[in-house]
Chains A and B, each alone.
Chain A
Amino acid sequence: MITKDSLKVLDVSSPAPQYVCLKLDAGKPLQGLLPGMFYELRAPSQKGRLFKPISILEVEESTLSFLIKVVGAGTQAFTQLKAGDRVEAIGPLGNGFPGIAGRRVLLVSGGAGYPPLAWIKRKSDVAGFCLHLHGCASADEAFPCDLLYTDDGSLGSKGLVTDSVDCLIAEHNIDLVFSCGPVPMLAKLTELCMQIEHYVSMEAYMACGIGVCHGCAIPVDKAFKLVCKDGPVFDATQIRWSEL
């Protein structure tokens, strides 16, 4: 059931420059939510503007957490919130990543693509083996993970998150890859993981978030599919990367 609700802000923090972490009170225990699912969120100051799609970072009973990178007006507005304020939310939306029980999973995130994979990693002690690689511009954007890559080498390894994927897959007997991040990173990863089951969480500009407007379509298989309704998680080999 998709609900439009106004959720109370429990906590606002800034775990990194340019990032805001929101904890919202859903008012009732949340069930059936999967990593990769998202909400359309809007701060009260943005009334009259579009909602912004944001992946779930974590769910604990009735608390929803989000980790948001500030890139424009819609995301900037979340930084102005304080505990007790309310955020408009439509959700939960999207399909989410498949289960990982018994699998050996490589999680690859880039920049603001961190949240859904971080949630899988945190749950993985009960489900299966997970190795989480995260790539970002510099130490400023670093979040907890197994192996960190920065463009400028200010923390972790200097280079791209995709640099040693080949070796890691062999070394850890990986049989499933999940990824989320910028398109060039995802396209490169798809090339590297052709022989392995690989799912990506995709981004698109959204108006409705619920499958009405057809604005969030991306080239998948022989057609266009809706990121909000058919996705955001897709089989990586089905996406026509060259058209993005």
Chain B
Amino acid sequence: MKQIESSLGKLKLASCVTVASGTFGLEYLKLKDADGKPLLPQESLGAYVSKTITYEAKAGNPSPRLYETECGLLNSIGLQNPGLKGFLNNDLPILKETLRIPLIVSFSGSSIDEFCEMITTMEPYDEIAGYEVNVSCPNVEKEGIAFGADPEVIYKLVSRLAVLTDKELNVKLSPNVTDIAQMALAAQEAGASSLALINTLWGMAIDWKTGKAMLSKKVGGYSGRGVKPVALALVYKVAQVAKIPILAMGGIHSWQDALEFIYAGASAVAVGTANFTAPGAPAKIAQGLHEYCKANNLYIRDLIAKVK
């Protein structure tokens, strides 16, 4: 699949299609089609991105945590995860055994020191090919967005992390800021080797009959089809100013969607909510891109940021 090869900073990607943090798990690699074959051969993915882990285990938010709207999904999971120790002891060995593609670990901390301790602890594990620094989760009070909304804080955090790792250092940005390009530049200057965008937008739904909010936390993160035009514009905006590569996500459901993001400036794409509504979607998207590129003698890497 030479046509859809790409790279993300220090990582060579055999496919420019990856998966979005928190929307994918090994469960999807185990799903079988009607003939008992894997629905999603992992080789169709350029990388596997883990759900965000935090230093301490997190119980997550009360239920309900999900609500589907006309054209997208609201969630307030609240980063439920087993914590760094639980991840390294229980999840990482299984990921190591299963994955034949690069593993990117998404992580978040409640202080700069905590982020640093996490990356230092993970650094010796060779099976971890890179990190996605989540400074953009809208569903937790302390972690995430608090770090992602201030370019000075991003700069401080990423410059501390950059000296602690030789691996791919990706910073995942929130769309819930006034000027995402400033955040991107701060991360780049601080030593990030790639960017990921977008995390979910703030979103809400209310039952008009009862006046009750659909999520227990009332406001959550909005993803899926409806966010695509927003994500595309933000990827374009960031690509205009940033030199480091972009991993783009936000409403990607088809190979045509993926191609739009490549033209807007993405070096690779990630499939999120579409995993739920179309299990196996990343494989179909990779295959669609491959067939299109082959038929037209195109290479993804030649199309990046070539919007006219």
Contacts and interface: CB of A to CB of B under 8 A. Distances in A.
Interface residues of A, number: 31
A207 B276 contact: yes
B68 A211 contact: no
A4 to B, nearest CB: 5
Contact of A50 (B28, B68, B280): B68
A244 B68 CA distance: 20
A50 B275 CA distance: 10
Contacts of A216: 63, 65-66
Given A224-B59, A224-B80, A205 B67 contact: yes
Contact of B65 (A6, A208, A214): A214
A90 B22 CA distance: 20
A218 B59 CA distance: 10
Given A48-B225, A214-B77, A217-B80, A208 B276 contact: yes
B32 interface: yes
Interface stretch (B9-17, B33-41, B124-132, B299-307): B33-41
Interface of A (DSSP majority class): loop
Contact of A212 (B28, B64, B280): B28
B230 interface: no
B77 A215 contact: yes
B62 interface: yes
A49 B63 contact: no
A243 B61 CA distance: 11
A29 to B, nearest CB: 14
Contact of B59 (A2, A4, A50, A223): A223
Interface string A181-216: 000000000000000000000001111101111111
Contacts of A204: 63-64
A204 B77 CA distance: 13
Interface of B (DSSP majority class): loop
Given A50-B277, A244-B63, A214 B30 contact: no
Contacts of A218: 63
B63 A4 contact: no
Contact of B66 (A3, A215, A243): A215
Contacts of A27: 34
B165 interface: no
B32 A243 contact: no
A156 interface: no
A227 B148 CA distance: 32
A153 interface: no
A1 interface: yes
- Interface centre among A51, A211, A212, by most chain B C-beta atoms within 10 angstroms, is A212
Contacts of B279: 4, 90, 208
B32 A2 contact: yes
B275 A205 contact: no
A207 B66 contact: yes
B233 interface: no
Given A214-B60, A223-B59, A90 B68 contact: no
A5 B277 contact: no
Nearest to B25: A212
A5 B33 CA distance: 6
B97 interface: no
B253 to A, nearest CB: 8
5 tightest CB-CB pairs across the interface, nearest first? A215-B66, A212-B25, A210-B27, A207-B276, A5-B34
Interface of B: 22-25, 27-28, 30-34, 36, 39, 51, 59-60, 62-68, 73, 75, 77, 80, 225, 253, 273, 275-280
23 contacts: A2-B32, A3-B33, A4-B33, A27-B34, A50-B277, A51-B276, A51-B277, A90-B279, A204-B63, A204-B64, A206-B66, A207-B73, A208-B279, A210-B27, A211-B25, A212-B23, A212-B275, A213-B22, A213-B23, A213-B276, A214-B51, A217-B63, A244-B63
Given A207-B273, A207-B276, A213-B75, 5 more contacts: A1-B36, A3-B32, A210-B27, A212-B25, A244-B63
